[in-house]
Structure 1
């Protein structure tokens, strides 16, 4: 099978196994289990905690000792097994601990999938990473969308079967990954290796560069914004059912379908990344992403299922730009700024800042703020919640524009392919 098709299938399943439950888990928590909302932020916090160390650790292992595709497969099989156990949990505290274990296996696979894709494409003489990776990665978004639709249309957006759907797909992906091209460790032992090199932590030297350190810090802040929309987007739409005039609306019945517009939008913006990166450079692309987050949250603040439906839909469309121009472009930027010896661990470091520290920042802080300031008599004040998130994104954008210094050179992007 053509390498591009093989990587396409890998990316499809990579995000299918996440999308089957990520957007709908709030309905399972609040609806089916009726657990306390104060602990719900911890569910998304598990992704952050796992990402603080697992992507970097597995990246080091893949750079030094184990083929990336083999490590990737093992992690997905273990992730699938934990998902099968998750519905058996009966208390919110135990649920959080088991979810943390699942995330320790899943979160590093995102960085590993990027590393496998980049390595495989670079080893293919006919491939161009900048041109070929976005169309491959877009199928990851398609997989996420398909999983959301399967969960919603099968009537499982509040049931435990969402975890079974994801678990089956994860185990299949784990088995399939052993058939992928070999991605052998690139770091060879040297007699003159420094202590940092000998223990596999040389990727952390990237923090010694002002530009890279600042990039990683702002990646953390944007990672926080991503967790805000993942954690609360679907439950926000679902809670319109408490308003009589909106109770029977399409938005309430098929909230996950509406949210999937965000992922459909991703498929379009991913394909635009090569043009925007070459034309404008990483700083302007990241700025576009940050202001897109402002509009994402602001439109949610004023939208509703009837005369404000267009704002909800536009917010979902803007999400594609907000997510892709940060996440995918950021991954490509890291690729241009590192050498092959630390490629996997550098991608893991990027994951650590976005889905690690960023997720912890977004999940814990938002959960605390919403319960303390925006929840009254059990009702969440969604208008002011989304306004506060929009203000947060705006402050981050202005700070990035002032502090991050980067001169765009189109050749830097072209060099990824070589």
Structure 2
């Protein structure tokens, strides 16, 4: 069978098993279990915690002891087993540890899938630069397909999302053992220290002011990267509590609406060479940061009615916000570091965004939403005003009953009803992204010279 086709199947499944639950887990968390936002922030941070050490650790294992494709298969089978067990968990504490275990198995497979693809293409004398991108784009398509299946099967707020991902992960785990063999590279003739083996020598880059500044801003922007993955779908789904939007297309197919973000991602990636050549790395990173401002700001004022265009435009802007920073940032590292530490420097960039940044963004946003943006309503009139309906509205009355609340003759509830103020949440995220963008523009000095342009072209060609 054609190796490129086999790697394409792997790439599709690699992100399918993630997309089946990543965007919709918030619905499961808040709507099914009713657990709080601070706890959910900790749950989402498990991806960051796992990213701090597992990719490096499994990379060492694959380099020294086990074929990469076999290790990849074992990790996916373990990931599948944990996914099947997740719906059995009934406490936030237990959910945290089981999700952390799932992420310890899954996160290393992203880099392993790249290694398997590179190794398989190179061993057959194929052009990695030319042949890998068309393979990788099927990963995004797999992510989108999983989101659609989760939504269309009515699984976005239930346990089935984990079963869908688990079945696919088990299939991928088995399929992995049929992939081209990628044996361990073993030790090179040149001796290396433990620090070099672990890729820690790149931390010396923090001694360089510009590189240190870049990595710090990467961490702060990495915090923003998680916010719409965490809250985007549950935000759209929350419009079901507003009578005038309860039966809208956005509420019924919120995950499909969110998938526009991933579709946009596949399109904007094609525009990156043009933008880099015309504007330079710093300006492309700035464009990405201000795109995050738009992403959050449009969500703040969007709604399923006359504000639907804002929601759709926000999803389109996501492709620019996500791709432009990740790829231009990666190119900045590639063209600004010595060849002998480039790989470890790229690892440090990913650690700052997907590791420390993800943990920072997940934990802080969860706490802030609980502390400042979860409103308590004690009367029928107050909640009717918030959702913009008459107190006698049938949908509102049904919603109140679903909360297990009774209404006294004076209109007060037997216990408060908690609802999130999504407009203020997104406005806060908007201000955060704007501050990061302005500070980056002022303090990060990087000129787009002809020499740097040639270096970028060399990487992209």
Match of 1:381 in 2: 421
C-alpha change, 1:252 and 1:25, in structure 2 (3 Å) is: same
C-alpha change, 1:150 and 1:191, in structure 2 (3 Å) is: closer
Give the alignment of 1:12-411 within 5 angstroms.
Answer: 12-63=12-63, 65-121=65-121, 125-127=125-127, 129=129, 131-183=130-182, 188-190=187-189, 193-197=192-196, 201-331=200-330, 333-334=332-333, 345-377=344-376, 378-408=418-448, 409-411=452-454
C-alpha change, 1:255 and 1:163, in structure 2 (3 Å) is: same
Residue deviations 1:306-364, cap 9 Å, x none?
00000000000001111111234444555556788767655443332112111111111
Which sits farther off after the overlay, 60-69 or 49-58? Answer: 60-69
Residue deviations 1:148-201, cap 9 Å, x none?
000110111111111111112122223333444455556744565345225553
CA distance in 2, matches of 1:275, 1:135: 18
Q: TM-score of the superposition, structure 1-length normalised? A: 0.90
CA contact (8 A) 1:58 1:345 kept: no
CA distance in 1, matches of 2:135, 2:285: 21
C-alpha change, 1:192 and 1:59, in structure 2 (3 Å) is: closer
Q: TM-score of the superposition, structure 2-length normalised? A: 0.82
C-alpha change, 1:332 and 1:124, in structure 2 (3 Å) is: farther
CA distance in 1, matches of 2:453, 2:436: 26
CA contact (8 A) 2:37 2:367 kept: no
CA contact (8 A) 2:37 2:369 kept: no
Equivalent residue of 1:376, what SS? strand
CA RMSD, Structure 1 to Structure 2 (Å):
2.7
C-alpha change, 1:351 and 1:91, in structure 2 (3 Å) is: same
In the alignment, structure 2 segments of 5+ residues that lack a partner are 377-417
Equivalent residue of 2:259, what SS? helix
C-alpha change, 1:164 and 1:326, in structure 2 (3 Å) is: same
| Count of matched residue positions in the alignment of Structure 1 and Structure 2 | 417
Match of 2:379 in 1: none
CA distance in 2, matches of 1:367, 1:111: 28
Equivalent residue of 1:176, what SS? helix
CA distance in 2, matches of 1:411, 1:11: 31
Task: Kindly state the Cα deviation for residue 387 of structure 1 after the two structures are TM-superposed.
Answer: 0.9
CA contact (8 A) 1:60 1:345 kept: no
Greater relative contact order, per chain length (Cα 8 Å cut-off, separation 6+): 1
C-alpha change, 1:191 and 1:310, in structure 2 (3 Å) is: closer
Task: Kindly state the Cα deviation for residue 399 of structure 1 after the two structures are TM-superposed.
Answer: 2.1
CA contact (8 A) 2:235 2:422 kept: yes
Equivalent residue of 1:292, what SS? helix
C-alpha change, 1:199 and 1:326, in structure 2 (3 Å) is: closer
Answering whether residue 9 of structure 2 is matched by residue 9 of structure 1, we say yes
CA contact (8 A) 2:122 2:128 kept: yes
Equivalent residue of 1:256, what SS? helix
